[in-house]
Amino acid sequence: MYKHVSKSVLGAAMALGMMGAAHAAVDTYVIDPTHTFPSFEADHMGGLSLWRGQFEKTKGMVTLDRANKTGTVDIEIDAASLDFGFEKMNEHAKNSDMFDVEVHPTITYKATKMRFEGDKPVEVLGDLTLKGITKPVPLKINTFKCIMHPMKKAEVCGADAVAEFKRTDFDLGYAVDKGFFPEVKVLITIEAVKQPK
């Protein structure tokens, strides 16, 4: 009887230990909004030039489970923080012709899957929600690095990621009927600060 109880207790302790170890392997990072800027390139006049815009306000969280080579991403972008560096264009892009920020004030990107090579993530498989429309948009991670930040006194991870999609898939078809190309390239610079467990 004593041996049976001991084995049960030992088994339960091992299970709890394994659960604790699995939980401990997941690291949580909060987006640093002062070093995170999603930007994009969109066609003007069917190849005449490119317009480049950037969103100034982003918040969210990333988790990394390096042991199991997976992670999650949960990002929220303030659509009204769009900036082309040209106020007239900003006003036009925010109205109902394009982003319609009064009706759709946020853009989100959520992912529950990552692809790793070695100990580094190289791709995020997530969904973009823009103007109330949600579609899968994978992010390719070009660079990824983590350091102990000398000023924040915490681990900070940074990445440079890119993606491509057609804006017509998200009800952003302004001027496509006039020959503008629908393809959009997204370039994301991100830094996130590791949180204590």
Q: What are the Cα distances from residue 88, in Å, to 53, 82, 94, 163?
A: 13, 12, 10, 27
Q: Mean of the per-residue pLDDT values for the chain?
A: 91
| Residue 70 belongs to some domain of the structure | yes
| Residue 6 belongs to some domain of the structure | no
Q: What is the pLDDT of residue 12?
A: 44
Write the CATH number for 113.
2.40.128.110
138-163 residue pLDDT tens: 999 999 999 999 999 999 999 999 99
Q: In 3D, which of 71, 67, 51, 57 has the Cα closest to residue 159?
A: 71
The tokens of 77 are what?
Answer: 């972008």
Q: Hunting for tokens 């480049």 — which residue is that? A: 52
Q: What is the pLDDT of residue 24?
A: 59
Q: Does the pLDDT at position 4 exceed 70?
A: no
Of the pLDDT bands very low, low, confident and very high (cuts 50, 70, 90), residue 16 is very low
Question: How many domains does the structure of the chain reveal?
Answer: 1
Sign of the alpha-carbon dihedral angle for 87, 92, 94, 99? negative
Range of the structural domain that residue 66 is part of: 26-194
Say what percent of the chain tops pLDDT 90: 86
pTM: 0.87
| Residue 44 belongs to some domain of the structure | yes
